[in-house]
Structure 1
Amino acid sequence: MKSIDDIIEDVLRAEGGYVNDAADRGGETNFGITIATARQAGYAGAMRDLPRDFAKEVYRRQYVVAPGFDKIAGISLPIAAELTDTGVNMGPKVATTFLQRALNGLNNQGRDYADIAVDGMAGTGTRAALHAFLAKRGGTGEQRLLRLLNALQGARYLELCEGRQANEKFLYGWLDRIAA
């Protein structure tokens, strides 16, 4: 992975093309962009015809820049990629909350860096904690943090299925995002 553009391309590949599954609460999607998100971003055409470049711009604006994952990328591109993918699938606040919870759990009872607020905002405190964690733990720490983020993601997928049986249809595919 070399850039934010690469992150967005990976998301586009994972999301695929046009889907209109009655079991999906998001309704029609194309490139993973729901019809509601497309309309909110100014697209008025048929979802089947949604331009790929439009989807890329929505991802960049709403799922990378707005939640601050572009700034996380300056600290760790793999962590930013994980947050972006999770954010697309579950919402950027959920992805950021996973990171904040993980960083708090990995701070050695506050000896390596102070606990941060779990507020779903990837602000300066979250970035400082990530930087401190990686300075202390290096590449091995980055890999373990990614595993923990994936574990939280998997647990959330299971919770979604437990809360709505129709989601069981999607669980197997959702777990592919973690394996990737």
Structure 2
Amino acid sequence: MDIDRLIDEVIAREGGYSDHPADRGGPTNMGITQAVARAHGYAGAMQALPRAVAEKIYRRLYWDRPGYGFVAECSGPIAAEMFDTAVNMGPGVATGFLQRALNALNRNQQDYPDLKVDRLLGARTLAALNAFRALRGPSGDQVLLKAIEALQGERYIALAESRPANEAFLYGWLANRIG
């Protein structure tokens, strides 16, 4: 799993500077909100956010801190999805989707015990992922990805339903983040 490639793909997908009036995140550049940039020491204009700063933030917040490198040791495609979902919805949401999907796919705990959906990647979640993959093989990744993406899609629609201004983003979220 090449995190540098994943970061490049996210930056390309997120694009450059934006300050859309419907976006609660305010000014962003390369997908990094002003609040996140400030929290990580960047004090300059968001239009001038250096790519290296964005790359460092993506690596730290959405790969290293949630532990998705451990997922990559088991499954590159699942790790890539966790990273992308974390960038867009937060690591807790991404990890919660993984936990919920693994619970739903364990055949009433015949394959491995249910996980507490605590939104933290730990030894039990990794053990469940390894058990799922041992049973289903690499082709199981595609089913697990579909389950995670179904949860993600439902959340996007719920966000648009709960806040009509989010409808401005729904098409792009579904087109660029699912599948």
* TM-score for both structures, normalised by structure 2: 0.97
Asked if the contact 2:25–2:33 (Cα under 8 Å) also holds between the matched residues in 1, the reply is yes
Q: CA RMSD in A?
A: 0.9
Deviation at 1:177, TM superposition (A): 2.4
Asked if the contact 1:4–1:73 (Cα under 8 Å) also holds between the matched residues in 2, the reply is no
Which residue number in structure 2 is paired with residue 106 of structure 1? Answer: 105
CA distance in 1, matches of 2:117, 2:145: 18
- SS of the aligned residue for 2:44 comes to coil
CA distance in 1, matches of 2:98, 2:4: 22
What pairs up with 1:1-180 in 2 under 5 angstroms? 2-180=1-179
User: Residues 124-173 of structure 1, C-alpha deviation per residue, up to 9 Å, x if partnerless?
Assistant: 11111001101110122100100111111100000000110000000000
CA distance in 2, matches of 1:24, 1:177: 17
> Which amino acid is the alignment partner of residue 82 of structure 2?
L
CA distance in 2, matches of 1:139, 1:125: 20
Seq. identity, %: 56
**Most deviating of 8-17 and 113-122:** 8-17
> Which amino acid is the alignment partner of residue 148 of structure 2?
L
Runs ≥4 in structure 1, deviation > 3 angstroms? none
Q: Any gaps of 5 or more consecutive residues in structure 1? A: none
Deviation at 1:179, TM superposition (A): 4.2
Deviation at 1:87, TM superposition (A): 0.7
CA distance in 1, matches of 2:178, 2:115: 28
User: Residues 58-107 of structure 1, C-alpha deviation per residue, up to 9 Å, x if partnerless?
Assistant: 00000001111111111111111101111111111000000000000001
Deviation at 1:117, TM superposition (A): 1.0
* TM-score for both structures, normalised by structure 1: 0.97
> Which amino acid is the alignment partner of residue 167 of structure 1?
N
CA distance in 1, matches of 2:150, 2:114: 20
User: Residues 40-69 of structure 1, C-alpha deviation per residue, up to 9 Å, x if partnerless?
Assistant: 000000000001111011000000011111
